[in-house]
Amino acid sequence: MARKINFDPPAAETVTPTAEINEAPPQRARPLLALERSVKPSGALGAISQSLGGISEKVKRAEEIEQKLIEGQVIVELDPAIIDNSFVADRMESSEEQSAAFRDLIRQHGQNVPILVRPKPGATERYEVAFGHRRLRAARELGIKVRAVVRVLTDEQLVIAQGQENSGRTDLTFIERARFAARLEERKFSREIIMASLNVDKAALSRLISIATRVPGTVIDGVGPAPAFGRVRWQELCDLLEQENNRARAIEMVKAPEFLVLDTDKRFETLAAGLRQKSSRSRAETWSAKDGTHAAKIARTGKKLTLVFDDRVAPKFGDFVKDRLEMLYEEFKSGNLPE
């Protein structure tokens, strides 16, 4: 079982009252502004105009909000322009129809559930979303602010929050979960963290990563999320892809314009059906000797050339050729071949 990771924030620092007007207040983080720096002490002119506490009502209010944010009790409204997507993508792009429907829902009823963001590491006054990517995208397209809870999260805490929120709503399709797991492993997250993120056991995680790595990324992108198809059908697709020439065929199929106009579930069905079709085989050609004996049949399939000898027609001719394969191969390597 994956170990439980504590998301509870550290206790807030206690601010000691200042002894003198010009004494600088103690340093503290500013999660509301995504700044890790202290509030600068005011100059002499500012000190005269300020109250005895040396802090304006506006700053006091900001600190109150920040304290509540640390405790996870306040929802704030943020400009979507200062929020970046998670560093690990979990879902594929939805269709324009789905995006429009979700956008209209937000427009009519508002955003009922806040998104979760963290102050973005290494970027001043920017945030990174842990979950709520669709709500963030809708807010961007509508030109409105997005309701959010701000938490200071490590990378591990972010991906766990991101994965568990989607898993709890069973919102990601099988292949989206599989690709998310594979991407986390590529970024060197431990299996324990990935298991906690997706709420799966070790065996299920291995299956997810196996399928995501066996199917070429181009094919996954071409098919899309395919919500109607789960592990069994994606496993069948993996098996089909491992048959001769099918990987190359699949990559070509998903690039075809007539394939791209299909909806995502139909793409999966079309691809699987296309790969089940046996590769076209050229008809076997009969090789005849000068005396008219049909001594062998030649068939080419993809990059394979097959010779078939029938002992009933030319007894022991196949053995004769087999015994001379080494000599024929050396002649082939020497380059002394007829034009």
Report pLDDT digits (tens) over 291-303: 878 888 887 665 6
Interatomic CA distance for residues 13 and 30, integer angstroms:
12
Give yes or no for residue 182 having a pLDDT over 50. Answer: yes
Q: At what angle do helices 155-168 and 174-186 cross, to 10 degrees?
A: 170
Contacts of 189 (CB under 8 A, 6+ apart): 155, 156, 159
Distance from C-alpha of 5 to C-alpha of 154, rounded to nearest angstrom: 11
CATH topology of domain 1-9+72-214: 3.90.1530
Task: Categorize the per-residue pLDDT at 128 as very low, low, confident or very high, splitting at 50, 70 and 90.
Answer: very high
CA–CA separation, 163 and 197 (whole Å) = 5
Crossing angle of helices 202-214/191-198, nearest 10°?
Answer: 100
Q: Which residue has the higher pLDDT, 228 or 278?
A: 228
Q: Structure pTM?
A: 0.55
Amino acid 297: pLDDT: 85
- Tracing tokens 């090789």 back to the chain, one arrives at 287
Could you tell me if 97 and 128 are in contact, meaning their C-beta atoms sit under 8 angstroms apart? no
User: What local confidence, expressed as pLDDT, does residue 67 receive?
Assistant: 52
pLDDT at 83: 94
State the span(s) of the chain assigned CATH 3.90.1530.10.
1-9+72-214
Angle at 182 between CA 177 and CA 184, to 5 degrees: 95
